[in-house]
Amino acid sequence: MGSGIKTYAVVTGASSGIGREFAGQLVLTGRPLIISARRGDRLHELKGEIQSKVPSAEVAVIEADLGMKDGIDELLSGINSVLDNGERSDPYTPARLGVFINCAGFGLCGSFDRSDVERETAMIDVNVTAVHVLTKQVLKIMERQNSGYILNVASSAGLFPAGPFMATYYASKAYVASLTQAIAEELREKGSGVHISCLCPGPVDTEFNDVANVKFALRGMTAKDCAKAALKGLFGGKVVIVPTLRMKAAVFFVRLLPRGLMTRIVAAQQKKKF
């Protein structure tokens, strides 16, 4: 950052919750930001808030629906045009992509036989397909630079064998956790300068519950603490980041208990959310 190269940080899902916190904390590290979500009014409000605290902060807003192929393409072409100078006030300063956080996502509750297939496939589009495509495209940019950090926001749900009554959400986050760990190993094997992590928090107090139409059975951590722990883990080179001691202990027991028993325990916890 003091090298004369602008090192951008991109955050999806920045209009709310954990993503909003990521943006606020990353800007304090001096990185110019690109923030994305569907709700442009929220993104512009966040931009104003950031610039009122840090007047020199550069914040580009890209409105995109990541549940659609066009939305993913718009985000990627928006990032490329910022990096290629088109959108920047100082086009002659070289730029690279320093951090990319796949944070956009949502959850759904209910028994699998009754839940709405349209909402579920929309969730798979955002939680799985967009994360997959964006990770691949961003990795290509970062591998050319031989530097950069990718953070995929999974969930502790992704580290459990299964999540009855929130089945598709758990499966979507297991995909993200598995994919990220596999890519991390490929990068480690070839000595790449690019690092990738997945964030696996337990409950976090955000708008997530309203969207999923549930109440947490456990008390949630704040989005601020979650983002702080995540950035520490990411820049510290951790592959799987589990923010709280309580969740770390839960994940430890997941490895010890039989999968069937663990799945019954998760089912009992999930039912408390309705």
Q: Which residue has the tokens 């690109």?
A: 34
**Phi, psi torsion values for 224, nearest 5 degrees:** -65, -50
The CA radius of gyration of the chain, in Å to the nearest whole number, is 18
Q: Tell how strand 95-102 and strand 204-205 pair up.
A: unpaired
Cβ neighbours of residue 64 closer than 8 Å, sequence gap 6 or more: 36, 37, 38, 71, 72, 74, 75, 78
Q: Which is nearer to ligand NAP, 44 or 96 (CB)?
A: 44
Q: Which is nearer to ligand NAP, 211 or 240 (CB)?
A: 211
Q: Which is nearer to ligand NAP, 19 or 148 (CB)?
A: 19
Among the residue ranges 52-60, 98-106, 235-243, 260-268, the one whose residues contact ligand NAP (CB under 6 A):
98-106
Among the residue ranges 38-46, 52-60, 138-146, 185-193, the one whose residues contact ligand NAP (CB under 6 A):
38-46
Q: Which is nearer to ligand NAP, 66 or 184 (CB)?
A: 66
Q: Is 73 in the site for ligand NAP (CB under 6 A)?
A: no
For 77-103, letters b (16+ CB in 10 Å) and e give ebbeebbeeebbeeeeeebbbbbbbbb
Of 203, 230, 199, nearest in space to 219 by CA: 203
Alpha-carbon distance of 172 to 95, in angstroms, equals 33
Q: List the one residue from 7, 129, 155, 269 that touches ligand NAP (CB under 6 A).
A: 155
Q: Is 11 in the site for ligand NAP (CB under 6 A)?
A: no
DSSP 95: E
Size of the site for ligand NAP (CB under 6 A): 29
Q: Is 224 in the site for ligand NAP (CB under 6 A)?
A: no
Q: Is 198 in the site for ligand NAP (CB under 6 A)?
A: no
Residues that bind ligand NAP in the complex, under the rule CB under 6 A: 13, 15-19, 37-39, 42, 65-67, 103-107, 126, 153, 155, 201, 203-204, 206-208, 211, 220
